[in-house]
Amino acid sequence: MKKLNVKLPEIYNMTLTDIFEKYKQGELDLPEALQMVSNHGIEEMGFATIDTDRLHRTGLPEMIYASGKTTEQVKRIAERMYQKGIDVLATRVTPEMYAAVKEVIPNAEFNELARTISYKHQIVQNTKGYIAVVAAGTSDMPVAEEAAETARFLGNEVKTIYDVGVAGIHRLFHKLDIIRGARVIIVVAGMEGALGSVVGGLVDKPVIGVPTSIGYGANFQGLSALLSMLNSCASGISVVNIDNGFGAACQASLINKL
């Protein structure tokens, strides 16, 4: 069989149409083309199956949720993705996981606050507008940083605004121009989660609320903030799960790229 003369990231970005076109042009022989078609979108590892076609199918690439996985599993998944030319983002990681991944991806980056590991073969920013990540308190920053890191990984410009909660509402107004200039706004808040409603009443852009588990007992590990955001009377607010900065960033990225 002829060797496919393309780089790994190009192989990852190939669609079925690309495979058929390369066969038509003689760059692939029939057995190789059939093998690529049969394996398209699937990378079997036994304990994990990497969805290599997810980016083309959904607009969002395969990413690693590390919580619940062993350090060795995270390392091996990240290594396989890296070898296949797939950009790597792992969330909810530990420092031990980063040390292990660093052994196989030397240029991997670690955001300790966000608990993310990331590596991109090429840094491409492919949006016109930016996403604003607004956090009510400093204690909400781990979730906000997860959102910011994920959004950047997905090719978005991100501006972060931290510690502007309703207890000192004047701090929010001081940053209102930046918030209003965004195409999408992610609002991260614990305690009673009021910041989502406040921002939603001040802007004409989509607002994605992220309730956090930060708060005293009656916060119920984020349940009160979640219910507050779900019951917001400000129009244009959607809400993701408690502490789900990753999910908010994925939704914001899809909106920003429309």
- Residue 96 burial by Cβ neighbours in a 10 Å radius (0-12, 13-18, 19+): exposed
41: confidence class by pLDDT, cuts 50, 70, 90: low
pLDDT for 9 = 46
Q: Looking at per-residue confidence, does 9 or 249 come out higher?
A: 249
pLDDT for 34 = 63
SS3 assignment, position 237: strand
**What digits encode the pLDDT tens for the residues 89-126?**
999 999 999 999 999 999 999 999 999 999 998 777 76
pLDDT for 192 = 87
Average pLDDT over residues 177-203: 94
Is 90 exceeded by the pLDDT of residue 16? no
pLDDT for 239 = 96
- Percent of the chain at pLDDT > 70 equals 87
Q: Looking at per-residue confidence, does 169 or 30 come out higher?
A: 169
Q: Looking at per-residue confidence, does 101 or 25 come out higher?
A: 101
Domains assigned to the chain: 49-119 (no CATH), 130-256 (3.40.50.1970)
Average pLDDT over residues 146-167: 94
Q: Looking at per-residue confidence, does 143 or 34 come out higher?
A: 143
Cβ neighbours around 25 below 10 Å, total: 8
7: confidence class by pLDDT, cuts 50, 70, 90: very low
180: confidence class by pLDDT, cuts 50, 70, 90: very high
Q: How far apart are CA 141 and CA 254, in angstroms?
A: 23
pLDDT for 42 = 65
What's the maximum distance between 2 C-alpha atoms anywhere in the chain? 67
Average pLDDT over residues 234-255: 94
221: confidence class by pLDDT, cuts 50, 70, 90: very high
Tokens 């009673």, residue? Answer: 192
Is 90 exceeded by the pLDDT of residue 78? yes
pLDDT for 45 = 66
Tokens 């991100």, residue? Answer: 158
Q: How far apart are CA 204 and CA 237, in angstroms?
A: 11
Do residues 156 and 128 make contact, with C-beta atoms less than 8 angstroms apart?
A: no
Is 90 exceeded by the pLDDT of residue 135? yes
Do residues 128 and 139 make contact, with C-beta atoms less than 8 angstroms apart?
A: no
Return the closest-CA partner of residue 9 out of 81, 75, 65: 81
Is 80 exceeded by the pLDDT of residue 15? no
197: confidence class by pLDDT, cuts 50, 70, 90: very high
